[in-house]
Amino acid sequence: MSAGKFASAYVDRVLDPGYKNWIRLFEAYASKVHKAHLCMLSEQGIVAGDSLKRGIEETDRKFSEPGFLPEKIPQGMEDLYFLYETELGRQVGEENAAWLHTARSRNDMDGTVFRLALADRMEHFIDRAEALCRGLLERCKAGEGELTILFTHGQPANPSTTAHYLSAILLDLLEDCHGLAKALEKVDKSTMGACAITGTGFPIDRERVARLLGMDGLVVNSYQAIASSHWLTAPAQALKALMLDLGRFAADLLHKTSCEVGLYGFPDDLVQISSIMPQKRNPVIIEHLRIRAGQAMGLCAGIEDLLRNVPYQDVNEGSDAPIAQFLEAFDYAEAALDLAAATFAGMVADQARAKEIALSFGVTTTELADTIVREFGIGFRAAHGISAAFAKSGGRKESLRKAFLEKCGRELPWADEKIDAVLDPWHFVQVRTTLGGPSGTGMEAVYAEARRNLEFLKDILDSRTARLREAEAELAGAWANLA
């Protein structure tokens, strides 16, 4: 607690917003840290826990009462912790209350509280993202019979299926989820016992506190525990990567749903009309997906930028304000997930348009060249030239035969029906049995990879849920056993 009075600008712009952040986002985690820390101190014979136990219970009860906490931070208080310690002092006496702060600092305590809050938010988000991916996998399977056209450099390139198209973004999203899970490992570590930066001379048990909190171990180096920014930058980068992929997909799908392309459409409940143009059907669901993803990305980029050239020491860039804003990024990102789920479920393939584009733009001539190579044993470059001449002529069969004669010195022994069969878009798809290609055979490996990644995520989520459940029971038992 400060001995003096803080300037109004500092109170209004820093201390009071921070106080409200703590009440709204972090106080429940702080209470958990107080209890775990006291249990450890008592078990190690450092502090008698009986009166402090009763004081903490009564203080927590009062803090939870509506209207007990002042709406604005009291003058002279730095943060909610000092208000908590003041109330604890009223319950058990000021000197007795001070024993709770033995072998800890606001540095290690705040760091652990923020990590607990962020880890829970990340777990919830990963769970939602995993559910999105499971739904997308089912949409892929439903799209196995939906012909579409894939583009390169903005131009029609190859026929494919909705299943093949969507499973590509599915695997990218699963990779992004793995990145978030890896970042969660960095977040879900206790800093308790690091104190200010160098630990303490008291015989504390840092591992015991981490276990009681349900965290996945601790940050071993006491200085790293306070100075590191990896627990913020790693999840920001991981979340940003996932949102970037959703934004790219949204941009691509907007192109595919344009009137000029028209490969996909949406039902009425996912489009808006113009207030002045009666003919308009705007697929705004995709734009809002892109917007929410962009908003989340901006906040994630803000975390990275905030820490640029910041000294490697205890600094306030890792305090409540940036953490609160980062938690908000997950709100925007979760909105993007919901909009993506609605987009995937609602997109309707126009297969007649896909076939029209395939034939109009000659996107099956790759298979024409491949078939010429396979059946006549000529080099691909020659077959490419023959097929290019055919495409340039607008798909005239006489041009194909002429080009073949000029390149090969013999007549092309195919009837018109054979040429049409080779150029059929579904034939193009079905012969691409390459691992990961759009045919049923090719897609088997894609689905297997997606299922493996989904099970990996499920195992991570289940493991943390089980660990938190065990820790809750262990903390409850340790608390009950306090003398």
Q: Answer whether 434's CB lies under 8 Å from 443's CB.
A: no
| pLDDT tens per residue, range 261-314 | 999 999 988 887 877 887 778 889 999 999 999 999 999 999 999 999 999 999
| pLDDT tens per residue, range 62-118 | 999 999 999 999 998 999 999 999 999 999 999 999 999 999 999 999 999 999 999
Does the pLDDT of residue 49 top 80, yes or no? yes
| pLDDT tens per residue, range 119-147 | 999 999 999 999 999 999 999 999 999 99
Does the pLDDT of residue 46 top 80, yes or no? yes
Backbone angles phi, psi at 259, to 5 degrees: -60, -35
Of residues 108, 103, 110, the one with CA closest to residue 79: 110
Reported confidence tier of residue 4, pLDDT bands at 50, 70, 90:
low
What tokens does 101 get? 């702060």
Mean pLDDT of 174-187: 98
Cβ burial of 297 (10 Å; 0-12, 13-18, 19+) is buried
84-88: Cβ within 8 A, 24+ apart: 84/30, 84/34, 84/59, 85/1, 86/1, 87/59, 87/62, 87/63, 88/52, 88/55, 88/56, 88/59
Does the pLDDT of residue 2 top 50, yes or no? no
Mean pLDDT of all residues belonging to the chain? 95
Reported confidence tier of residue 1, pLDDT bands at 50, 70, 90:
very low
Q: What is the pLDDT of residue 459?
A: 96
| pLDDT tens per residue, range 237-270 | 999 999 999 999 999 999 999 999 999 999 988 8
Q: What is the pLDDT of residue 289?
A: 97
Which domains can be identified in the chain, with CATH numbers? 8-102 (no CATH), 107-356+445-474 (1.20.200.10), 365-419 (no CATH)
Q: What is the pLDDT of residue 295?
A: 98
Distance CA 310, CA 419 (A): 66
Does the pLDDT of residue 347 top 90, yes or no? yes
Alpha carbons within 13 A on the beta-carbon side of 340: 33
Reported confidence tier of residue 5, pLDDT bands at 50, 70, 90:
confident
Mean pLDDT of 14-31: 97
| pLDDT tens per residue, range 413-455 | 999 999 999 999 999 999 999 999 999 999 999 999 999 999 9
